[in-house]
Structure 1
Amino acid sequence: MITDPELGEGWKTEALEPAPSADRPAPRERAAGGPGPRSWLWALGGAVAASAVWAGGLYAFGDRMAEPEISYRASKNLCQDFKARALSGITGNMHTKKPVNHESDQPAVYVARCGLENAGKEGVASDFAVVAQVGLHKKTDPSPEFDAPDLRVLAYAGAVRTAAVPDLGERAVMNVMSGDRWLILKVLDGGVVFTVEAGADTLAETNGRPATDVDAVQAAMIEDMRELMSALKK
């Protein structure tokens, strides 16, 4: 993959909370009510929920511009369309636990969202989560805003490694942050913005799940994204 020159060193900011490092490990369990050690999961879910609200407001004045030609159908149940087969091969079946599925149909944008978690062994919580989102932009072309950095993610995660993903839609970008434990793949194609976010407590061997690396997770995300786009293509 090729580093995007526009979103390389410039796409960095200070984290609201210090990022874990070799001499500053990730925080452990906090009391109920706070993000705690799985704060990546809290941010992961909040990211997609917030983006759906933002999309509806951002394009409220979209009738001033030409409507894009949408090349994909609206998903009425994204958790049925998003199989996550490749990621399940790394994390364990992502459809074992009850999925979280939402849709929001606004005049300017239709958003479908699916949240999945792997199933830990008995008495062990899940340690890997995936959120997929598909936004069909009915009033304005989303491409001018596609490359804009998500300031909410930057404020939470701090430094972000960004790389363009070739041969995937019109444009695609992979963001890696939080010590390689939070990844976001975003694709623009045919008037639609696709997003797959993945977050893990650790990529080391844990709870019977084999160790993996960030490259394997990225490859699985890209494969699952291709399958989702194919499933929704008109």
Structure 2
Amino acid sequence: MISEPELDGAWESARPAEVARDEAVPARRPVRPWQWVAATAVATSVLWAGGLYAFGERPAADPEVRYAVTDDLCGQFKAPALDRAMGGFTDSTSNEAGRHPAMEWASCSYDGGGSDGSGGLSLMVLVELHKKTDPGPEFALGSYYERILGAGVPWEEMPGLGEQALVRSSEAGDGLELRVRDGGAVFSFEVMSFGLSEEETGLPGKGAPPPDRDALTAAAVEDARALMAALRKDCL
């Protein structure tokens, strides 16, 4: 009588050699399609990044800042041209300056008015030094308040002043606004004149005529150039 082990051995010896060999060697696991897709995506991203670097698509560098500001902007800048054009300032105040890794700024306020009460005038100068973000792409959008309240008087290009300059009539009283961008620096001038008529002053012949727009613009441009020259690092 044939025992079970002998029977098993007999059957095993009777199997074809090819079948026994195939079962002895583990079958290779098939590669799934998504593994090829993932490997291709990684290789493509590496090549794409290398291509961008080679063609100059690197992270934007910090804007060039060729100017410096001090806490006492009024002491450094007197706005002589606008002072003459507007009849003289009687007071100036350096506002609080700021220092931050992303931006430095300083501002100064100038005020004046006729001794006979015929009106008033003011000038606000603001200097911003953008150290991390280029102000160029957003320069023409104006201030935060313009985007909230809506821009009124349109800006006009002023060639020959910095890298870009814009000017427009003031929306408050008779005056104008001038903004100049040069690298990471932005210079803002806001000139306002509040003239009163004879009826408002109650004094015959004491009404203050509004300042001439062209003369005011020329004075603001002259003072902007003087301020930029005074704040250049190579002049300090």
1:229 aligns with 2:223: no
**Mapping for residues 110-189 of structure 1, pairs under 5 Å:** 110-121=104-115, 124=117, 127-150=120-143, 152-153=145-146, 159-178=152-171, 181-189=174-182
Contact 1:154–1:160 (8 Å) recurs in 2: no
TM-score, scaled relative to structure 2:
0.62
Give the Cα–Cα distance (whole angstroms) in 2 for the partners of residues 169 and 204 of structure 1. Answer: 38
Q: Distance in 1 between matches of 2:70 and 2:152?
A: 33
**TM-score, normalised to structure 1's length?**
0.63
Contact 2:118–2:196 (8 Å) recurs in 1: no
Which secondary structure state, in structure 1, belongs to the residue aligned with residue 95 of structure 2?
Answer: strand
Displacement of 1:153 after TM fit? 3.7
Q: Which letter maps to 2:222?
A: E
State the AA in 1 paired with 2:97. E
| Bigger CA radius of gyration | 2
Equivalences, count: 169
Write the deviation string for residues 31-57 of structure 1: whole angstroms up to 9, x where unpaired.
xxxxxxxxxxxxxxxxxxxxxxxxxxx
Give the alignment of 1:39-118 within 5 angstroms: 65-94=60-89, 96-118=90-112
C-alpha change, 1:212 and 1:119, in structure 2 (3 Å) is closer
Cα distance change of structure 1 residues 103 and 151 upon mapping to structure 2, 3 Å threshold: closer
CA contact (8 A) 1:163 1:174 kept: yes
Query: What residue ranges of structure 1 are gaps of 5+ in the alignment?
Result: 1-63
Verify the 8 A CA contact 2:156 2:168 in the aligned structure 1.
Answer: yes
The within-5 A match list for 1:178-217 is 178=171, 181-202=174-195, 212-217=211-216
Q: Secondary structure at the match of 1:80?
A: helix
Percent identical residues: 37
Name the CA shift for 1:129/1:68 in 2 (closer, same or farther; >3 Å): same
Take 1:171 and 1:109, find their aligned partners in 2: how far apart are those partners?
19
**SS at structure 1 position matched to 2:161:** coil
**Unaligned stretches of 5+ residues in structure 2:** 1-58, 199-204
Q: Whose helix fraction is larger, Structure 1's or Structure 2's?
A: 2
The whole-number CA distance in structure 2 between the counterparts of 1:85 and 1:75 is 19
Q: What's the offset of the Cα at 1:76?
A: 2.7
Q: What is the one-letter code of the residue matched to 2:64?
A: E
Root-mean-square deviation (CA, aligned residues, Å) is: 2.8
Q: Distance in 2 between matches of 1:82 and 1:125?
A: 27
* Paired residue type of 2:162: G
- Code of the residue aligned with 2:138 in structure 1: it is E
| 1:67 to partner: Cα distance | 1.3
Classify 1:165/1:100 alpha carbon distance in 2 versus 1 (closer, same or farther; 3 Å): same
CA 214–143 in structure 1, closer or farther in 2 if over 3 Å, else same = same
**What's the counterpart of residue 13 of structure 2?**
none
